[in-house]
Every structure is written in C-alpha cells, then in structure tokens.
Chain A
Amino acid sequence: MAMIEIRHVFKWYDKFQVLADCSTQVEKGEVVVVCGPSGSGKSTLIKCVNALEPFQQGEIVVDGVSVGASATNLPKLRARVGMVFQHFELFPHMSIVDNLTIGQVKVLGRPRELAREKGLNLLARVGLSAQAEKFPGQLSGGQQQRVAIARALSMDPICMLFDEPTSALDPEMINEVLDVMVELAAEGMTMMVVTHEMGFARKVANRVIFMDGGRIVEDDAKDTFFGNPRSERAQQFLAKILHH
C-alpha cells in the first residue's frame, strides 16, 4: 500500500468547490511534485493530507490510517507527518533549539536532554549549529526555512509535506533550502512538494502532478511531464514558468 493515498477527494468552501475528484498516491520513498496556477487548490490538497483542512467527500489514507475517519486520532497522525510551510512558521517566542525540541518533548514525550541533543544534531545537519540559541527573528528567511525543515524532522516523520517552501525567499536563498530537500530525497524520504522550482522537480521528483481549478489534470512520471504533457493547460503553464 502506498504511503499516501488520495481517493476521489472533493472539498467545498460553502458552495465554492476547491477540490474536485482528486486522486493520486505517493509510494514509500517517492518524491511527488505538485504544481499549477495560483488558486488551483495545491495548498488545500496538501493540507488535507494531514487534516489541517477537512474535506467533505472521498478518502485520504496515510500509512494505512484514514485521515477523514472520525475515529482517527489526528494529533497522533500529524505527529508522524512532517510539514513545512511557505512562511516558515517557526515559533517566534522560542529560541531555535526550543523550536526543535518542543514537539519532541510535548508530543512524543521524549526527555528534554535527549530532545535537545537530537535538535542540535539536526541543526548541524542543516548547517546552522551556530544559531541554536538565537530567535527566529534574528535569522534570514533561508535559515528559518532550514530550521523549519529540521523541526519537522525532529519528530522522525514517515513522510514530509512541503507547501511552496521557497516561494517566500529571496532568490539567493532558494538553493540553500532546496539543497537540504534534495539531500532528504536522496536519503529516501517520502515527500509531497508543492513548488514551482522545476529544477528541483527535474532533479529529484519521481512524478509531477499538475492541478488546475481544483482538479488533478496531469499526473505523470517526471520524464513524461517535462517531455510531453498531455493537457494544453500544463503545456502553457510549463512554457510560462520555464521562460521566467
């Protein structure tokens, strides 16, 4: 069974349909890139995976657990799914190292010392050991996003969700974040990544999903997507962002 299975998901805000019959899956160890024009429902879809957004119809199963089922313990499920946000969302009132330990201590019940050690190791891994005692506001955007990735990893997630992790960054900081993500992919992390960084997609994605108007209109192996997308919308979209 796939790590993430999305089956015929529909979602409405009141009468406004944001997701229409979305189905796809992410196998263990796979990297799937989601792209599409603004407002096409990419963020909404990825937030449905860890139930930050509810959906009205269909089913999403993460590692065998049905996200929409009322019996599902959502905090427990979310603790196993890492998420990285467009605007980092580090906790501004905590030091960097505290950002990396709070989840481990409060959610996983790890002893504080152990959590701290793990946090510092992860910080070293994203190249930010020197920043441990600083506060998020003192870091650059790229540094903050690397900390946010480390924070998600501190929970030992079974898969990771990224919602436009580099689109709020200055151009010169994009690569330092993408490098961490490429490394993560190389280690076999299961990843679902909303991004318009097609260089990243070419390098590490197994599949690329193209969304438009709340629908998944293209779900191809990477080479097919870049070589010869079937839908006209995807072709136009690619032409537009690749010529940027």
Chain B
Amino acid sequence: MLAGFDWSVIPASLPFLGQGLLYSLQLTVVAMTGGVIFGTLLALARLSGGPVLAGAAAVYVNTMRSIPLLMVILWFFLIIPLLTGKPMGAERSAMITFTAFEAAYYSEIMRAGIQSVSRGQVNAGYALGMTYAQTMMHIVLPQAVRNMLPVLLTQTIVLFQDTSLVYAIGAKDLLKAAEITGRNYNRPVEMYLFVAVIYFAICFSLSLLVRRLNRKIAIVR
C-alpha cells in the first residue's frame, strides 16, 4: 500500500514546513513563558490576595478551564476586530490567546507547587528580613518550580500539541504548512503523515525527559 505514496514531495517542502514548525515552537515558548509568569501571578493572587483578588483570579482560572481552547481561539480572533476596528494577525492573536488560556492551567500547577513549600521555609525567609516579594522570588518559587518541573513539562507537551488548533484561524503553524504543501503538490496524505511523525518525535522525546526527571526526583526524595 505504501507503494502508492510519493515521498519525494517531502524534501521539496521542507523549508516551508520548517517555517511552520518554527512558528509552532515560538507559539509554544511564548505561551509557556507568558503562561507560567501570568499563571504564577494568578496562583499568588488566589493564595494570598484579599477575597476580591482571590475571587477574581479563581473566576478567571475556572472560566478558562471550562471552555474548549478552540472556542477561545476563535472568539478572540473574531472579537478583537469588532472591538478595535482593525484585524489582528492570526499569528499574534493566537499567541495572546494561548498565553491567556495556558495561564489558567499553569496557575493550578504553580498553586500546588507553592503549597508544596513548607510554612517553615516561608518563615525562614521572613525571619531574615525578606519582604513577601523577596521570600516568594528567592525562596518559594524556585522550590515550587523545581517540585513541579515534571508536571510543568507535561503541560507544555500538551500545549505544543494544542498549538495545531490555530490552523482554524489560518495561522501558519506546522499543521497549516503541511496542509498548504499537501494541497500544492496534491499529496495531502504524505504531508499529514510526515507532520504526524514530527509531532510524535518532539512530544515523545519530551515525555522521555519527563520520565527521567521523575525518576531523578524519586531518588532525591
């Protein structure tokens, strides 16, 4: 059955696919970085803010976690032009949407991470004269991230897979690039198979890394 395939389209389309992959990776890195930072702030708000701040953060997180990502992507892309009067590029729109969406998930991970650091550590920071911000920055968050590293990475793998959803608004990611070249060469099956292999290779090697981290943590404990 494989005999009917024409794999020669792959080398020819590599540069274009490369551009798509680059965007997918950029989107992953931006949404991860922004999501972890924004998510950490949300977690801190929920854990130590007053009732208003904690409530607002909780509503945000729970809302985002109850809506399918695809809908958030579409809504944001469609609503922004209505609000601002001018369209925003699909690529940029997706970066903002993903950051805002992933923040909700990363915030739950960071919340667990922050809670995994004992009260005694916080007191030790305070006892040295550190402010709340210094204690978080130098004592609590580094340990929270370290404790949660495997879970944060797993979430990032999911995030990388989810970036393929941006093809719905026409952003040129890896999947979109495959679709376009597949159409141009009239070889869609080969192209979709090939990018599936790329997604798999990246996600699988990351999950191997997670497994190694988990084993290392088990040893340390």
A-side residues, CB < 8 A to B, are 47, 50, 52, 74-83, 85, 87, 89-93, 102-103, 106-108, 137, 151-152, 155
Which of the residues B124, B131, B134 comes within 8 Å of A89, measured between beta carbons? Answer: B124
B128 and A85 form a contact (CB under 8 A): no
CB proximity of A135 to chain B, nearest CB, Å: 10
A-B contact number at CB 8 A? 61
B-side residues, CB < 8 A to A, are 120-121, 123-124, 126-131, 134, 138-139, 142-143, 146, 220
A103 and B142 form a contact (CB under 8 A): no
Distance in angstroms between the alpha carbons of A76 and B139 in the assembled complex: 18
Using CB atoms, name the residue of chain B closest to A50.
Answer: B127
CB proximity of B31 to chain A, nearest CB, Å: 26
Distance in angstroms between the alpha carbons of A74 and B128 in the assembled complex: 11
By a CB distance below 8 angstroms, the chain A residues around B130 are 75, 103, 106-107
Distance in angstroms between the alpha carbons of A24 and B127 in the assembled complex: 22
Which of the residues B121, B126, B138 comes within 8 Å of A78, measured between beta carbons? Answer: B126
A103 and B128 form a contact (CB under 8 A): yes
The dominant DSSP class at the A interface is mixed
B120 and A79 form a contact (CB under 8 A): no
User: Contacts A85-B120, A89-B121, A91-B121; is A102 near B128 (CB within 8 Å)?
Assistant: yes
Which of the residues B126, B138, B139, B142 comes within 8 Å of A52, measured between beta carbons? Answer: B126
A106 and B138 form a contact (CB under 8 A): yes
By a CB distance below 8 angstroms, the chain A residues around B121 are 89, 91
Using CB atoms, name the residue of chain B closest to A91.
Answer: B139
A83 and B131 form a contact (CB under 8 A): no
CB proximity of B188 to chain A, nearest CB, Å: 50
CB proximity of A27 to chain B, nearest CB, Å: 22
Using CB atoms, name the residue of chain B closest to A89.
Answer: B124
By a CB distance below 8 angstroms, the chain B residues around A89 are 120-121, 123-124
A155 and B129 form a contact (CB under 8 A): yes
* Residue from A81, A103, A137 with most neighbouring chain B CB atoms (10 Å): A103
Distance in angstroms between the alpha carbons of A102 and B138 in the assembled complex: 9
Distance in angstroms between the alpha carbons of A76 and B143 in the assembled complex: 25
Using CB atoms, name the residue of chain A closest to B139.
Answer: A91
User: Contacts A93-B143, A107-B134; is A155 near B120 (CB within 8 Å)?
Assistant: no
Which of the residues A78, A90, A92 comes within 8 Å of B129, measured between beta carbons? Answer: A78
Distance in angstroms between the alpha carbons of A103 and B134 in the assembled complex: 10
Using CB atoms, name the residue of chain B closest to A53.
Answer: B123
CB proximity of B193 to chain A, nearest CB, Å: 44
A107 and B127 form a contact (CB under 8 A): no
